[in-house]
Every structure is written in C-alpha cells, then in structure tokens.
Amino acid sequence: MSDNFDVIVIGAGPAGYAAAIRCAQLGVNTACIDKSQGKDGQPTLGGTCLNWGCIPSKALLDASHKYIEAKNDFAEFGISTGEISIDVPKMIARKDEIVKGLTGGIGALFQGNGVTSYSGSGKLLGNGQVEVTDHNDLTTVLNGEHVILAPGSAPVEIPAAPLNGSTIVDSAGALDFDSVPTRLGVIGAGVIGLEIGSVWNRLGAEVTVLEALEDFLPMADTRIARDAKKMLIAQGMDIRLGTKVTGATPTGDGVVVAYEGEDGEHELVVDKLIVAVGRRPFTEGLLGADSGVALDENGFLFVNDLCVTDVPNVYAVGDVVRGPMLAHKGTEEGVMVAERIAGFKPLVNYETIPNVIYTHPEIAWVGKTEQQLKADGTQFNAGSFPFAASGRAMAANDTQGMVKILADAESDRILGVHILGPQASEMVAQAVIAMEFDASAEDLGIIMFAHPTLSEAVHEAALGVAGHAIHVVNRKRK
C-alpha cells in the first residue's frame, strides 16, 4: 500500500468521514485515520455522533418515548395494554445494534468509495507528514498533499464531580446504564442534560438537574425556553437553576452531591450522577512540534471561514473549530473542504444552522431569537401559531407548543423560526430552506401546505407575521 495520499483526514466522525468520502468520490486519493474503539475493543468509525452521541441518544429517546406513550397515552386512544414495563438491557442492546449497523456502514462506504482507512492515532508532523500510531504502538508515516483535521471534542470534566465510570459518568456512560436509576442527578441543563435526563425520567427515574446559570436554555428564544421548561417540569424533571455544585462524594451505591443555591448550601443524594456541562475541542496528541497549526484562545484549532488553518493545505472541520458543536455543521464543513480541494468553490452558510433539542416536545430553531433581534436593534414582526389549534396535533394527542416566526419589519425577510412541538426537528428544515432562499414570511404564507399536517402551523405562523392567520380570531380586518 502506498504511503502517499492527496488527502489525509484525521478523525472519522461526521466531519472527517464526510470529508474523506467526498474527496474519494471526487477522485482524490484519500486516507482517513481514526483511533476510536467500540465497546468490544474493536476499531469503530463514525466518531462521537455514531458511537456515543447523536444516534445512540436518539435510540434511547425514541425507546423511552414509546414507553411513556404506551404508559400514559394509549388509553386516551382506547387502546388497553397490560402492565407496561421496560427491559433496559434489551433497550441498550437495540441501541448498540443500531450503532453497530451505522458504524459498519461507514466502513462499507470507505471501502466502496475507495478511502484507505487506518486505525490508530494520527499526529500532524509538518510538511504534509502524518504519523500514525496503531493500537499495537507501531508507527507509520504518511505523506499528504493536503491534511484535514477532524478530531472532534470530548466532554468537559469538573473538579467538583470527578468521573468514576460507575456512579458519576459523562454522557457516554449515561447511555449505558443497566437499569433505571431510582434517583438521577444531572449537572448541566444543556442539550445533553435535557435529552438524556428525559430518557431516564420517562423510564421512571426521579431526575434532578442542577444548572449553574439563572436562565434556562439562554440560546433558545426566551418564550420557547420558558414554555419548554414548564413542560419538562410537568413531566417530572426537577430543574434547579442558579446552582453551583461544590462536591460529589461517591458512597457505596450512590453519590452525595453538594451544591449551593441562592438560599444556601444543599445536599442531593442520587444513585447516578451525569456530568453534562459542555464539550471541549479534543487536540491531545494531534499536533507535532513543527505542525505550524495554531489554537485559538479557547483551545479550538484556529481556522478562517473556509476552514483553512494557519498552514496552507491544512484544514480543520467539525467540533474542533469555532461554531456550534453539531454533527451537520461538521459534515457540511467536511464536504466544503473536500470540494474546495477538488477545485470547486462551495461555502458553508453559518447563518442557517438548525438547532434541535430532542426532548418531547422537541425544541428546534434556526436564525435569530427575539432577544437577539431586540439587542441588535432590528425592527421585526412576529407571527406564532399554537399546536393546540392544529387538527393534526389534536388527532395525534400531541398539542403542546407553538411555531414562532420572526421577520424583518421592512423587508419581511425571515430572520428566525422557533418551534416547540412534536416533530419540530423535521419541521425546522422548512424554515432552513426558506431562509436559504431568502424567503419572506409572505412567501411561506402563500405556499400551499398539505392538510392536515403539523407543518400547517408553520404556514399559519408565517401568515400571522402580517396578521393574516386563518385559524385565529382576527378582528383587525387586515
């Protein structure tokens, strides 16, 4: 096998594997190096997303959602069941099978498209040289015309709650519990805390979430965040904002968590504690002394808008560079870099990155929030529509939440779309498409939507921006 490649990619998560596959599809001789090993100790492709992130968490979210529907909602539809129970090892085994299928699928895509795969750690030495150290500590040096760095991110750890792999775990550990903890503590009311907290809450755990900030989901639209918080609390999650965890002491079979709130010091006794306080760029062992690649002040690899580092022909994509840590953002960056190497000129539009939190109801948005527009001094009009007035949501007995659309007061251009509701993750794609095409709220309002669908709420909210929604009382005669 030749050790010379046109492109060497380090990291086979969604940013790196997409870059490698696209390079190979464009006829570029490509190698991809990844060091991950799965639960069985075998090399695995797909990075955090496929192994310990997006996919396994959604497998558990879907399983626990079906469980809670069967338990709480089926009777409403006239469906009777026996006693509902959950077989946690079976649920976890199903999740592992999905992971196995998808990660194996990346291997097949590499093979089919002609990507040369190396299992081990890659280190950028300089002059396009990359040292690969395999799992037996044997090293090889590869030469690449271009190098794409995609090493991803790792969970942030806090001294107050050191992980012990059994009772104090990070998000990966929280996807592998063998039974439902009676009492579950979660540090961090961010995306992971709410998603994984929801899984175990639905399955019967008493979940307490300790969040340092006073605000709940400050990155989401304030109205949507407020409504979502109420719904999650109604589902049984105990969300304590403005709390500072000062210690976590493992006892025989649990953890005593010490924290400070505005009313003084408290103790929380739990069986399991999940630390979900954010992720950090992962660059350990990545850069040799002569790599020439610089980090920014937050430890991310420094890149320009085109994902080029300080070294020409060395690029970085995904969680390891600025911007939201989202799989689809990394994938688009990987594809952009691959296509630019092959001579095309694509760009990533960072203004239209969709965000989704897969709670139930789901929270999804794209573009600016109302509070951002106010802070920027942008004049806007807002239209909203509740799922409580949607025939399809009623038919599905899933009527919580709303769609909210914000449009420029002068041009009517859509600036932000915020959805709290069933299948918000799917509906937000309509908003992304609209914004990519610079649509106005009126454009969305005059497009025909199928009836009855949840998406009609998007249509009505768009009409509502100019006060034209149909399924509302409107006496303004506009």
What is the set of active-site residues? 451
Q: Which is nearer to ligand FAD, 49 or 415 (CB)?
A: 49
Report the distance separating Cα 91 and Cα 224, nearest Å: 31
87 vs 90, 93, 265, 267, 375, CA distance in Å? 5, 10, 37, 31, 49
- Check binding of 124 to ligand NAD (CB under 6 A): no
Query: DSSP 3-state assignment of 50?
Result: helix
| Position among 34, 69, 96, 211 found at the interface with ligand NAD (CB under 6 A) | 211
Do 364 and 427 contact (CB within 8 A), yes or no? yes
Q: Minimum distance between the CB of residue 425 and ligand FAD, rounded to whole angstroms? A: 9
The gap from C-alpha 338 to its chain's centroid, in whole angstroms, comes to 23
With vertex at residue 325, the alpha carbon angle to CA 95 and CA 233, rounded to the nearest 5 degrees, is 65
Q: How far is the CB of 194 from ligand NAD (least distance, A)?
A: 8
Locate 298 and state its tokens.
């937050």
From ligand FAD, ligand NAD, none, interface partner of 151 (C-beta below 5 to 8 A by class)? ligand FAD
Q: Does 221 bind ligand FAD (CB under 6 A)?
A: no
For 93, 172, 200, 236, 399, the CA distances from 204, given in Å and listed in that order, are 19, 20, 6, 9, 23
Site for ligand FAD in 234-293 (CB under 6 A): 282, 285-286
Max Cα–Cα distance, the chain, nearest Å: 77
- From the list 56, 193, 318, 416, which residue makes contact with ligand NAD (rule: CB under 6 A)? 193
Ranges within 64-103 binding ligand FAD (CB under 6 A):
none
Burial of 79 (0-12, 13-18, 19+ CB in 10 A): exposed
Instruction: Give the residue with the Cβ less far from ligand FAD, 325 or 462.
Output: 325
Under rule CB under 6 A, which residues in 124-153 are in contact with ligand FAD?
150-153
Binding to ligand FAD by residue 302, rule CB under 6 A? no
Binding-residue total with ligand FAD (CB under 6 A):
36
**Which helix (DSSP H) or strand (DSSP E) does residue 202 occupy?**
helix 191-202
Q: Could you tell me which of 58, 418, 63 has the C-alpha nearest to residue 221?
A: 418
197 touching ligand FAD, by CB under 6 A? no
Which CB atom, from 325 or from 457, has the smaller least distance to ligand NAD? 325
The binder of 318, among ligand NAD, ligand FAD, none, by C-beta within 5 to 8 A per type, is: ligand FAD
* Contact letters for ligand FAD, residues 13-42 (x by CB under 6 A): xxxx----------------xxxx------
SS3 230: helix
Residue 245 binding ligand NAD, by CB under 6 A: yes
Residue 49 site contact among ligand NAD, ligand FAD, none (CB < 5 to 8 Å, cut-off depends on kind): ligand FAD
324 contributes a contact to ligand NAD by CB under 6 A: yes
In the complex, what is the shortest distance from the CB of residue 282 to ligand FAD, in angstroms, rounded to a whole number? 5
CB of 314 to ligand NAD, least distance (A): 25
Do residues 403 and 366 lie in contact, with contact meaning Cβ atoms separated by under 8 Å?
no
Regarding 247 and contact with ligand NAD (CB under 6 A), the answer is no
Q: According to the binding rule CB under 6 A, does residue 358 interact with ligand NAD?
A: yes
The smaller minimum CB distance to ligand FAD, of residues 360 and 459, is found at 360
Asked if residue 171 binds ligand FAD (CB under 6 A), the reply is: yes
Part of the chain binding ligand NAD (CB under 6 A), chosen from 205-213, 290-298, 333-341, 446-454: 205-213
Q: Which of 361, 276, 287, 349 is nearest to 320 (CA)?
A: 287
Geometric angle at alpha carbon 463, from 460 and 466, rounded to 5° = 145
Helices 14-25, 327-341: crossing angle, 10 deg rounding: 30
**Which does residue 212 bind out of ligand NAD, ligand FAD, none, counting CB within 5 to 8 angstroms by kind?**
ligand NAD
Tokens of 380: 């806007």
Extended beta strands in 89-163, E state: 116-119, 121-126, 129-133, 139-149, 153-155
| CA–CA gap between residue 269 and residue 255 (Å, rounded) | 6
Are the CB atoms for 208 and 201 separated by under 8 Å? no
Q: Which of 63, 149, 210, 293 binds ligand NAD (CB under 6 A)?
A: 210
Segment lying near ligand FAD (by CB under 6 A), choices 319-327, 369-377, 432-440, 456-464: 319-327
410 Cβ contact partners less than 8 Å away, ≥ 6 residues apart: 379
Q: Does 57 bind ligand FAD (CB under 6 A)?
A: yes
Query: From residue 253, how far is each of 183, 245, 273 by CA, in Å?
Result: 11, 20, 11
Decide if residue 53 touches ligand FAD (CB under 6 A): yes
Asked if residue 404 lies in contact with residue 417, where contact means CB atoms within 8 angstroms, the answer is yes
State the residues that interact with ligand NAD by CB under 6 A.
158, 187-193, 195, 210-213, 245, 276-279, 324-326, 356-358
Q: Which residues bind ligand FAD (CB under 6 A)?
A: 10-16, 33-36, 47-49, 52-54, 57, 121-122, 150-153, 171, 192, 282, 285-286, 318-319, 325-328, 330
